[in-house]
Every structure is written in structure tokens, then in C-alpha cells.
Structure 1
Amino acid sequence: MLTTVGPEFWPRSPEGRMLCLLIAVYAFAVFGYFTAALASFSIGREARHRDGDLAGAEQIAQLSRELAALRRDLRQATRPPSSADTEAGSRASNSAPE
């Protein structure tokens, strides 16, 4: 009913109502397509600027590299001691004066 001219000109037959429904769905799809195209255009422009609010591909790649480096540092810091490290530590504790 919203896609018709007004309350006095709405379809009364089932076929007319079905046609009105199909036209309304089509109109909403076309409107949604143009809205999405406009939004993606503006978002794409914003992502290309360094000072923009959105992260572009370059910023995401840089963050991925930083995250990989942090994970590597975390693995090294939390790595369990190897057998060579424990033997050196036990020799140092045995030779320490008391």
C-alpha cells in the first residue's frame, strides 16, 4: 500500500496486490543497491586516507606485522627452559658460596 499513489488507488484484486508486492520488493532492492554503492564509495575514499577513521589495507598489513612480532616475543618470553639452561642453572647454584 505504501508504494501506491494513495489510499484511494490501491489494488483490490489478488493479482494486482501480488504485482504491487513484487514491484515494491524490486524498488526496495534497487534503492538498497544504490545506497550500498554510495556507502562503499565513501568508505573506500575514507580508508585510503592515512588520517581517516577507517583502516585501509596498508594499516591492516602493518598491524598484522606488529601482531606477529608481539606473538614471537611472547613465545620467547614464555618458552620453557631447555635442558642446557637447567644444567647451567644447577651448576651456577652448586658453585655459589653459602
Structure 2
Amino acid sequence: MKLIYSNENQFLVNNAKNILENHNIEVTLKNEFASGAAGVLAPIDTWVELWIINDIDEEKAETILAQALKQQGEHDWFCQQCQEQNDASFDSCWQCQTEKAS
């Protein structure tokens, strides 16, 4: 098992977990309930951790998470075909299905 992602925000860690599971990568969470020890432990030691089960999935998981995190920093885009505004995570227009321009 290898630690692949950690964050103080449990929602973000669970989102990363869902992304990897959707790519058939087995994962598990650790420190889900460690926030109660804040003050006794260093704050970073209470962050939720996402671990991959099979070490051979490490490179694939890192690539998938890097792509997902990159998309979080992107901005919404407008379709060249129908001028509809689309969320940055969409690869094609939700209205007319035109592919996102590179």
C-alpha cells in the first residue's frame, strides 16, 4: 500500500477516492476520524489520507489525480459551435456535444 493523496478537507479526499475507484483502482482511507485528536497531534497528522492497495497502480493513480487536479484550476469554457458556457471538467459541450477545443 502507498499513500497517494492527503488533504485537510475530507470532501476533496473522498472526491479523489471516487475518481480513482471509477478507474478501477482499489483504494482505502486512513485517518477518517483523526480530527478528534487535533491539538494532541500535529494538524497535518489528522488529515484524511488516501492509500492505493496495489503498488503497481501508483503511476496510473498519480497520473489520474494530476489530471483531475489540473482540471480544477481550469476555467469554464464556451462552445465554439453553440456558444453555450460549459464547466471546465466537461470535455464536450453539454448542449450540442461538440468537443472542447484544445
Give the TM-score range, shorter chain. under 0.3
Q: TM-score, normalised by structure 1?
A: 0.27
Task: Report the structure, 1 or 2, having the larger helix content.
Answer: 1
Q: TM-score, normalised by structure 2?
A: 0.27
Instruction: Please tell me whether Structure 1 or Structure 2 has the larger radius of gyration of its CA atoms.
Output: 1
Structure with larger RCO (C-alpha < 8 A, sep 6+): 2
